[in-house]
Amino acid sequence: MEITRDNRIVDLPELRGRTRVFADRTDAGGVVAGMLEEFRGSGAIVLAIPAGGVPVGAAISSALGLPFDVAVVSKITPRWNSEVGYGAVAWNGTVRRNGVLVPQMGLTEREMAEDTARTLEKVRRRVETLRGNRPMPELSGRTVLLVDDGLASGFTMRVAVEAVRELGAGPIVVAVPTAHDTSAHLVAAEADVVYCANLRSGWSFAVADAYRRWRDMEEREFQEIAKKLLRSSS
């Protein structure tokens, strides 16, 4: 496996610019784990962003023998399109709107407030389901591997980095199977390093295009994976 480093971005040149390179999220997590061997036995913790980041993070945690936990962050979407995110909400109540996209959405303040409230409730529900009364793990001074199944705009990940940074974590390593080149650089500016197996560029980008088998995960699917690993990590 040849790995290249470019200004805090680590990728696999043989996968650069390609599509359909991973069978599924678990396969992708295994590939990313191969890039992260230096963290084996390091005391780092894997924090996966639900939903799609959970199977990726589970594969990384299993391959490297690292503890697993979740970082519940969700994008803010308009009621009429669950795929278009113009902001994000983190488990600690952090709310951020994307200043580039918001003017393009044509939304009223009332609509954005309703979208934000709906997302806050979604995050609260996921935290309660996955964590119950269990607090976030101690992250002060600890290496954190923040994992998702890909970076499109990268905004959700940037909010996750901010929330983890507030807990005193460091260094913060973002680990994803695929990302748009521009988004990877935006995230790298706020994290300490980005590991991305499949770096792509161009005007058209979809995380799904990196996978041969892709579908949105149902709540029960990622909950089962996460709960099993959370029990074994506690």
User: Quick count: other Cβ atoms within 10 Å of Cβ 150?
Assistant: 28
Band (pLDDT 50/70/90 cuts) for residue 232 is low
The pLDDT of 146-167, averaged and rounded, is: 95
- Look at residue 3 in the predicted model and tell me its pLDDT: 59
Q: Tell me the per-residue pLDDT of 96-117, one tens digit each, with 9 for 90 and over.
A: 998 888 888 888 999 999 999 9
The pLDDT of 177-185, averaged and rounded, is: 96
Number of residues assigned to the chain: 234
Average pLDDT value over all residues in the chain: 92
The pLDDT of 163-168, averaged and rounded, is: 95
Q: What is 4-72+137-233's CATH topology?
A: Rossmann fold (3.40.50)
* pLDDT tops 90 at residue 223: no
The pLDDT of 79-87, averaged and rounded, is: 82
What is the arrangement of strands in the sheet containing 95-97, beginning at the earlier edge strand?
A: 73-76, 87-90, 95-97
Instruction: Name, in order, each residue with C-beta under 8 angstroms of 14's C-beta and a sequence gap of 6 or more.
Output: 2
Band (pLDDT 50/70/90 cuts) for residue 6 is low
What is the arrangement of strands in the sheet containing 68-70, beginning at the earlier edge strand?
A: 4-6, 9-11, 193-200, 172-180, 144-147, 45-48, 68-70
pTM for this entry: 0.92
CA 156 to chain centre: 7
- Look at residue 99 in the predicted model and tell me its pLDDT: 86
Instruction: Return the beta strands (E) in 43-185 as ranges.
Output: 45-48, 68-70, 73-76, 87-90, 95-97, 144-147, 172-180
* pLDDT tops 90 at residue 211: yes
**CA-to-CA distance for 151 and 198, rounded, in angstroms?**
11
